[in-house]
Amino acid sequence: MSNPFFETWQTPFNMPPFETIQDHHFEAAFEQGFSEHWAEIEAIANNPAPPSFDNTLVALEASGQLLTKTADVFFNLVSTDTNEALQAIEEAVSVQWSNHNSNLYNHLGLFQRIKTLFLDLPNLGLQPDQQLLLETLYNDFVRGGVELNAPARQQIRDINEQLATLETRFGHNVLAETNQFELVLTREDDLRGLPESVLAAARNEAAQRGHPEGHYAFSISRSSFTPFMQFADNRALRETLFEAYTRCGDLGNASDNKALAVEIALLRHQRAQIKGFASHAHYMLEDRMAGHPSQVHQLLDQVWQPAQKKAQQEAADLQARIRQEGQNFELAPWDWWYYTEKLRSERFDLNETETKPYFALEQVRDGAFEVARALFGITFKPAPALPTYHPDVQSYEVIDADGTLIGIFLADYFMRPSKRGGAWMSQFRGQSNLGSNIRPIIVNCCNFAKASPCLLGLDEVATLFHELGHGLHGLLSQVRYPSQAGTSVKQDFVELPSQIFEHWATEPEVLRRYARHYETGEVIPDALIEKIRASSTFNQGFQTSEYLAAAYLDLAWHAQAPDAAADVKALEAAEMDRIGLPMTIAPRYKSTYFQHIFAGDHYSAGYYAYIWAEVLDADGFEAFKEQGLFDPATAQSFRQNILERGGSAEPMSLYRAFRGRDPAVDALLVNRGLAS
């Protein structure tokens, strides 16, 4: 029986042939991929020739092509269009992947070749990207525990295997809980206050879940949750939905994540101590720009105090608004969005029912594409004939100013039960210039409520721009080695391209280009643009506090001894009490659905990265404001020094090359309205 992963794809641009790929193909492809890669590793390690950069590091970079080809397709599909069969394969593959990496980073023969080169580094005549590649690989082996004794290495291997299973299960549980909960409404009284755009999305959600006409379904996906909390007049129903959102993974059922969170944190701490680190956070941060948990706390604390001051005033204003209505209840977390929307409307004569008609999904998408063209000279050409993995996905050829193909871009914007929550960028193929110019295939995923028309709130507009910023990092990458391509940078640098791109979304000059009324085609009025600008720092005390609370919670799990992590709710309560989080604000993510930190290692002890990168992006955007939003020289510098370089140089050196100096926190505080 043929298997598409064992064949050369005869598709345009070597796109994955999604229509011929079956679930069962992955098991055989992974088995063969692991086998082939290990044979290549053995060949490199046992090469009788003295180690050289080419026969060791370049050979490693070129190895594992079948495994990478299979994994790129598989892990994208389990995130975007999963099913029980794929989830079962994922649980098995996650363990295999962990063992494969453990074997790789504990291969003493391979490490000896790398170490020989590392110790002779000054005499090798390497170029900067090659030197960094060698330093990074050597450090990866050392951090993996290769120099520890055999029993310690086995302990780490066992822990990695357990974590692979537990982290995968954590993510599956969150998806199951998200799909299981639904707030289905039929009574007109229960729907009062909800605008037609929200009702249209809820009708569509109800239909997708099998409910008859006249039913409206709301879920705990943010694209469904947030509009309901903003507009629903029924306070009891807002409380119901809020409780469901904040109790995800905490219901004592088969999908409960409390025990998993504790076990994951304990194992990570144990692994870090075996490797000689005080905690998992100390281990993870050693290899990031921050360097140490104290540096992260210093930044968080610097923003936390002004955020709390503003949040206290916001809470007082909301309580006054409640009293103004003749109500005598105390402000609760499920009231915050609702009364904030009322205050926004009164103070700025602005609400989302007024702005949404100007932000139809297609208009926003094309507006983001136009910003990329104006900045970097690239165009997104629709390519509907290209194969895709789901009917909702739209394909584009990305063309440079000189007419050459940069890569392929896939846009997957709508939520569905088979797709995990949130928004992210990924790749079906990464860029590299190793041997030949390999053009990337980049995907942007969001979870907008599917409706016709699909009208976006301002936060969702920012999300679309944000993910395209990540996409540009992957598309415009121009590096030699695959492991340095695109977003393969230090975790607390990866959000710079995405967050700086958000700034263009609401610049008046840009809004006039793309924000048009979905029915009349009318350009967004200047008066409405001014309202958006004037309200840009409104509610930032709340938004900053809920984010920072989650970042503190991440560190509470990972920067301390495990005995303090024995009880999820106790740890959460203790940390929120320590920082003084008001009872009216909940962390953006609680532990049981905090996928960033528990569904994988990548963002563990790293959720702070968004605010760390915001220091860079706020400061960096000042360069464009100083020289002009679309100043060619500034845009070219950002492309050449940031987007094209990937992880081929140290992040701060890249930032200095673009900005000419180190970043300062001042612009961040101003942008969030937190400056004194």
Render pLDDT for 618-674 as a digit per residue (tens, 0 to 9). 999 999 999 999 999 999 999 999 999 999 999 999 999 999 999 988 899 999 999
What is the DSSP secondary-structure string of 538-551? TTHHHHHHHHHHHH
Average pLDDT for 562-583 = 88
Give the pLDDT confidence of 493-543 residue by residue, as tens digits. 999 999 999 999 999 999 999 999 999 999 999 999 999 999 999 999 999
Give the pLDDT confidence of 421-447 residue by residue, as tens digits. 999 999 999 999 998 888 999 999 999
Per-residue pLDDT, 549: 98
Per-residue pLDDT, 447: 96
Strand order of the sheet with strand 405-414? Answer: 379-382, 394-399, 405-414, 441-448, 424-429
Per-residue pLDDT, 637: 98
Per-residue pLDDT, 163: 97
Give the pLDDT confidence of 327-383 residue by residue, as tens digits. 999 999 999 999 999 999 999 999 888 999 999 999 999 999 999 999 999 999 999
**H-state helical runs in 195-257:** 196-208, 222-231, 235-246
Walk me through the domains of the chain, giving residue ranges and CATH numbers: 4-105+107-144 (1.20.1050.40), 181-246 (no CATH), 258-350+540-607 (1.10.1370.10), 357-505 (1.10.1370.40)
Predicted confidence (pLDDT) at residue 676 exceeds the cutoff of 80: no
Per-residue pLDDT, 128: 97
Per-residue pLDDT, 347: 94
3-class secondary-structure state, position 390: coil
Instruction: Report the mean per-residue pLDDT for the chain.
Output: 96
Predicted confidence (pLDDT) at residue 567 exceeds the cutoff of 80: yes
* 564 band by pLDDT with thresholds 50, 70 and 90: low
Cα dist from 365 to 461, 462, 466, 500, whole Å: 9, 11, 11, 17
**H-state helical runs in 148-234:** 150-180, 196-208, 222-231
Q: Among the options 61, 205, 397, 467, which is catalytic?
A: 467
Whole-angstrom Cα Rg for the chain: 25
What pTM was computed for the model?
0.95
Predicted confidence (pLDDT) at residue 565 exceeds the cutoff of 60: no
The answer to whether 287 touches 583, Cβ cutoff 8 Å, is no
Give the pLDDT confidence of 272-329 residue by residue, as tens digits. 999 999 999 999 999 999 999 999 999 999 999 999 999 999 999 999 999 999 999 9
Q: Which residues contact 646 (CB under 8 A, 6 or more apart)?
A: 431, 473, 477, 479, 484, 485, 486, 487, 488, 489
Whether 467 sits among the annotated catalytic residues: the reply is yes
β-partners of residue 217 are 184
CA distance 454 to 361: 6
Give the pLDDT confidence of 151-199 residue by residue, as tens digits. 999 999 999 999 999 999 999 999 999 999 999 999 999 999 999 999 9
3-class secondary-structure state, position 369: helix
